[in-house]
């Protein structure tokens, strides 16, 4: 179903493209919907950490900080839409089918959602899962322009691509569920390490904020 939807919307792209799909479409394909009356129950069940805040729930789901475990009521026709069951697996599955269908060697798939940044109004796109490219670019051990070895520099490629795509796909009535990224600064790879973006909470710069609160 998802493949038909994608190939209906976009034609065979050039080598080295990334197909971006919103989590909503993937979740609908997986029939991940629920009764709005069960909202709080579901938010708690879907997340590893859940804390009620003034306007929403602050949650950690699959190691990712987001609002309300990604459970969404907008554009849902009266139902709640949950996130896909496993966005990395869904991305890889879609990539395999599209790659074969389009006879491409290098193809990426990226499943996106949106979230709030600390102290910022407005949401930005985030990568829930992806396949076919490296989500993290590593500069550690390379030198800066003055020849000094960089110690900590890594770029979060997957979230950056998701953010760019979600800006173009929009929200609300105008939302486009699919986008195509071409000629981005990305390294394609057949296998993805689904933990590469995850920072251990104890090592995280935000850890001192999390360690004082107990959710759920």
Report the residue from 8, 11, 31, 142 that binds a second copy according to the rule CB under 8 A.
Answer: 142
Residue 193 binds a second copy (CB under 8 A) = no
Residue 202 binds a second copy (CB under 8 A) = yes
Task: Find the helix or strand (DSSP H, E) in which 210 lies.
Answer: helix 207-210
Report the residue from 17, 67, 87, 112 that binds a second copy according to the rule CB under 8 A.
Answer: 67
Report the residue from 99, 159, 179, 192 that binds a second copy according to the rule CB under 8 A.
Answer: 159
Task: Find the helix or strand (DSSP H, E) in which 157 lies.
Answer: helix 157-169
Residue 17 burial (CB count, 10 A): 24
Nearer to a second copy, 89 or 150 (CB): 150
Least distance to a second copy, CB of residue 86, Å: 18
β-bridge mates for residue 154, sequence order: 138
Nearer to a second copy, 86 or 196 (CB): 196
Residue that the structure tokens 């109004």 belong to: 121
Q: What are the residues whose beta carbons fall under 8 Å from the beta carbon of 11, sequence distance 6 or more?
A: none
Site residues (CB under 8 A) for a second copy, limited to 83-102: none
Report the relative pairing of strands 123-131 and 136-138 from DSSP bridges.
unpaired
Q: Tell me if 132 sits within 8 A of 108, measured CB to CB.
A: yes
Residue 150 binds a second copy (CB under 8 A) = yes
Span of 1-9, 25-33, 38-46, 194-202 interacting with a second copy by CB under 8 A = 194-202
């Amino acid at each position: 179903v998802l493949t038909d939807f994608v190939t209906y919307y976009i034609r065979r792209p050039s080598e080295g493209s990334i197909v971006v799909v919103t989590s909503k479409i993937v979740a609908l394909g997986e029939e991940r919907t629920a009764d709005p009356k069960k909202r709080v129950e579901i938010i708690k069940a879907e997340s590893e950490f859940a804390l009620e805040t003034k306007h929403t729930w602050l949650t950690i789901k699959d190691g990712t900080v987001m609002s309300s475990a990604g459970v969404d009521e907008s554009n849902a026709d009266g139902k709640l839409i949950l996130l896909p069951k496993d966005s990395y697996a869904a991305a890889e599955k879609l990539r395999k089918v599209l790659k074969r269908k389009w006879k491409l060697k290098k193809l990426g798939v990226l499943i996106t959602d949106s979230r709030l940044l600390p102290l910022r109004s407005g949401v930005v796109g985030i990568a829930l899962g992806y396949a076919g490219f490296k989500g993290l670019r590593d500069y550690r051990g390379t030198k800066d322009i003055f020849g000094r070895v960089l110690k900590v520099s890594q770029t979060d490629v997957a979230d950056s691509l998701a953010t760019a795509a979600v800006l173009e796909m929009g929200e609300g009535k105008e939302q486009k569920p699919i986008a195509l990224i071409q000629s981005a600064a990305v390294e394609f790879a057949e296998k993805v390490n689904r933990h590469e973006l995850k920072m251990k909470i104890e090592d995280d710069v935000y850890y001192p904020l999390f360690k004082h609160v107990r959710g759920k």
